[in-house]
Every structure is written in structure tokens, then in C-alpha cells.
Amino acid sequence: MHVTTLLKRATPPGYQYIDAARPLPPDTAVHTTELCNYGGLAFIYRASVKLRKRTVDVAVSTFEYLCGYASTGIHHFILFGVYRPGSQAVSATFFNELSSVFEWLATFNCPVIICGDFNILLDRDNDVHAAHLADMLQLFDYVQHVTGPTHKLGHTLDLVITRVDTDVSNVRVGDMVSDHALVHFTLRSDKSTDKVQSITSRAWRKLSMDTFSSDLAASSLCVDPDMFDDMSADEMAQLYRSVMTGLLDKHCPVVTIRRKTKHTTPWFDSECRAQRRRVRAFERRFLRTSEVDRQKWLAKLKLLHALYELNSTYWRDEIAASKGNMRKLWRSLSGVLGETSSDVFDDHSAADFAAFFTDKIDAVRASTSTTPPYNVVHSATSTMRLRLMRSRN
């Protein structure tokens, strides 16, 4: 029976699935009726969740994986499944490939859940591979949540890994469904807290130039120009300000607009912003007019998506340039991870800084007060030659 048929039968009503079949060996005869490929990974999820399969831009040969980008309306997260065959020894290549995958996952500004059968004995404190994995997780700011045996032989092989700031709760190991146990956990994905700011602006679209010009001609600014002869510059400026403000309040009053401030991705530059503005202008024109403007809007929309795709490779280039330099990688991706630098400085005066350095120098002197002085040997010959050279010059 084909694996796809088994998945269809295992998927309950109201659920869907995505899967990644196990890679076939190079010498497999694929054009035969006896071909049957077992194994692989699958995600079974509710139909109300949108789960799109993603391809990782990393060449992987030591483990199988399945990556899905999940969306539940206002919530998004990455679900990454891993299966490392226990029949294969843990190698340095595995950790190198897993590190490359972690670097790729770091580009997503949403929760990341990595789960699956790693076939590494995390329950053994003296296991060198478990220690290596723990160091790697700490390096990428990940945490492993499963405790207790998940295999019938009493080992912890099935893991749930997330970032430190990801809210995962109710992690427990359930009953054995095969030689492995079922691992339960709950992911809480909060709605992004975009700041709402109030902006005051004038309703310029309501301004009628003819009516405004008529009222301006009848105002004190235009009726009697001779009145300005006896006014100072400050008085004329004040009169101009009051008259123009009154006319603008009448014809296009001030309105308050509430806007959400959202953080754009680093590659979203001024060119993307200008192109998006043009696309929206064509869209508004199309909604008011005909099918011809619709085709123009679609053409502009395709150009915008092409520009997005071009600029989105920014992070791939950043990762490639930071290969092997973890400090540079995390510094370049801090914006995507939501780690913004703070502009808040401590309230220290110049006297505070002077006192700090004075105390520091006194502490160094006190700690080295018992150290015997170093006898510096002076060379009289070198000094004499230097004086002779200066005198000759």
C-alpha cells in the first residue's frame, strides 16, 4: 500500500496533511511496479490552519526533514520536523548540516518549533553527542523542552525545540504508539502588539479651491492692503496665521487618524515603498474605472512582487556572507529576530564617570601595591647616540 494512501486513511475528517517522502537510494529502480517507498515525515493539521510546505535552502544528507509555514489568521509559526536514522552513526556532518538549518531558520521573525526523532541520547549526561547538541542549542538561543524517556528502551530521543522566548507549555510524554511515545505540547502564539499612534491631518480632499479662493479674497488679507503699512512684521505674520488657519479649519478641518506602526523587513527599502505606493494608486484607479486599468494594475502588481522576490534574497546573501562567523550572523539578523537596540542611556553625569575611573585606578594600585617595582635597564650608549644624531641634525 502506498504511503500517500496510508496518510489519506489516517487523516480524520476536517484535517489535511503535507508530507515529505523518504529519499530513494540512487540505485533504486523507479520504473517498476514493485517500487514501494516507505518512511518519511508528515504533518496532519486542521483544515482551518493554512500550512504551506517550504523548501530549505540547505543541502541535507544526514537526516530527513519536513518544513511547514503555518498561518492561523493573525498567528504565524514555522514547524520543522526532523528524523535522523538511528541506524546511522552521529557524525560531524550531521551537526554541520543542522547548524546550517538553524541559520536558515533564524531568518524568520516568528516562532519556530523544531520537533522529531533525533536519535541522540539526551538522557545520558556523559554522551558526547548530547553535549554537542546542547552547546549548539545554547549558541542559537534555543531550548529543548522534553524530559523523560520517549523510547521503549528508556531513552530521550524525541525532542521539542524552540527559541527561548517562545511560549510552549504543557509538555508531556504520553503513551507508546510504537517503539516511541507520543509527545504533547501547547504553543501559545500571541497577536503582534503593533503600537497605535494618533496622527492629526487635514482632509485635503474636501478642499474646494473655488470656494477657498472666494473666501480668501473676502478676508482681511486681501480687502485692504493699505492696512499693512502701519503693522510690524510680527503683527502681519500673526494676522496671516490666524486668517489662514480659520479658512483651513472651515474648508478642510483637522481630523485625527489612528495608525498602527509596523516594523518592515530590512530589505523593504525606499524603492519597495515607492513601488507599493504606485501599485495602490493603480488599484484605486481600477476600482473606479474600467477593465483596461485593471490590466495596468495587474502589471504593476507583478513588478512589485518581482521586486519583493529580488530584495528578499538580502537575508540569504547575509547568511552566506556570515558563514562560520556566528557573531556577525546574529548581529546582522538582530532586526529580524526582534532584538532592537535600546536608545535609553543611564543618567550619569561627568562627575560620576570621573569618580568611576578614579575608583578603578585606586583599586588597581591597591591590588598591585605589594608587587616589587620592575627595574628597567637603560642603555647609555643608545641615549648618547640619539643625542649625537639630534645635535647633528
If asked whether residues 218 and 331 sit together in one domain, one would say no
Q: Which of 170, 188, 206 is the last residue of a domain?
A: 188
Residues with Cβ within 8 Å of 381's Cβ and at least 6 positions away in sequence, in order, are none
Quick one: pLDDT band at residue 387, thresholds 50, 70, 90?
A: very low
If asked whether residues 100 and 153 sit together in one domain, one would say yes
If asked whether residues 55 and 183 sit together in one domain, one would say yes
Distance CA 310, CA 304 (A): 10
Average pLDDT taken over every residue of the chain: 81
If asked whether residues 142 and 202 sit together in one domain, one would say no
9 vs 146, which has greater pLDDT? Answer: 146
If asked whether residues 89 and 176 sit together in one domain, one would say yes
Best CA proximity match to 109, nearest among 269, 271, 260, 262: 262
DSSP 8-state assignment for residue 180 = B
pTM (predicted TM-score)? 0.51
Q: Is residue 26 part of a domain?
A: no
Looking at residue 382, what is its pLDDT? 47
Looking at residue 308, what is its pLDDT? 77
If asked whether residues 179 and 90 sit together in one domain, one would say yes
Q: Is residue 34 part of a domain?
A: no
Quick one: pLDDT band at residue 185, thresholds 50, 70, 90?
A: very high
If asked whether residues 98 and 171 sit together in one domain, one would say yes
Q: Is residue 85 part of a domain?
A: yes
Q: Is residue 40 part of a domain?
A: no
If asked whether residues 199 and 89 sit together in one domain, one would say no
Least confident of 54-63, 151-160, 275-284: 275-284
Q: State the average pLDDT over residues 35-64.
A: 85
Looking at residue 144, what is its pLDDT? 95
Q: Which of 213, 237, 261 is the last residue of a domain?
A: 261
> Considering the chain, what percentage of its residues have pLDDT values greater than 90?
28
Structure-derived torsion over alpha carbons of residues 243, 245, 250, 251, reported in degrees to the nearest 10: 110
Quick one: pLDDT band at residue 183, thresholds 50, 70, 90?
A: very high
Distance CA 37, CA 26 (A): 13
Least confident of 25-39, 333-347, 348-362: 333-347
Q: Which of 231, 261, 291 is the last residue of a domain?
A: 261
If asked whether residues 281 and 202 sit together in one domain, one would say no
Looking at residue 276, what is its pLDDT? 84
Looking at residue 104, what is its pLDDT? 87
pLDDT tens digits for 60-96? 999 999 999 998 867 889 999 999 998 899 999 999 9
**How many C-beta atoms lie closer than 10 Å to residue 124's C-beta?**
13
If asked whether residues 92 and 142 sit together in one domain, one would say yes
Looking at residue 204, what is its pLDDT? 83
Note down the domain range covering 157: 49-188
Q: How many domains does the chain have?
A: 3
Residue 60, classified by CB atoms within 10 Å of its CB into exposed (0-12), middle (13-18) or buried (19+), is middle
107 vs 24, which has greater pLDDT? Answer: 107
Q: State the average pLDDT over residues 189-217.
A: 79
If asked whether residues 104 and 121 sit together in one domain, one would say yes
